[in-house]
Amino acid sequence: MPCLAEPGRIIVTGVPDRTLDEARPYVATLPGAIGWNPQALTLTFRRPRGFMTLHRERVFITQVRDPEEVLELLAALRDAVNAGGTNGLNSWR
């Protein structure tokens, strides 16, 4: 969907092949983590442009340049989740 904060950029929603519950405590220790919302169970990261918010069963990334950047960001997030020693995240929808 179009990003209202930055015309010409997009907001992306990614759905992991498993929940992010186990991974959130580890991922929260990584650089860029700026907010944990205990009521909504969300973790937000500040990116150079925009934000990335992890929910239990999805991730929202704002101010994304193009589909190539989407793939790079989701691959980096997958690698970070898997580095935490959880059951392994394989893909995104």
Determine, yes or no, domain membership for 4.
no
What range does the domain containing 68 cover?
Answer: 10-80
pLDDT tens per residue across span 52-86: 999 999 999 999 999 999 999 999 888 888 887 66
pLDDT tens per residue across span 2-52: 877 788 899 999 999 888 888 888 888 888 889 988 888 899 999 998 999
pLDDT of residue 69: 93
CATH label of the domain that carries residue 60: 3.30.310
Domain count, the chain: 1
pLDDT of residue 26: 83
- Residue 5's identity, in one-letter code, is A
Single pTM value for the model: 0.86
List CB contacts of 68: < 8 A, sequence separation 6 or more.
Answer: none
Cα-atom radius of gyration of the chain, to the nearest Å? 13
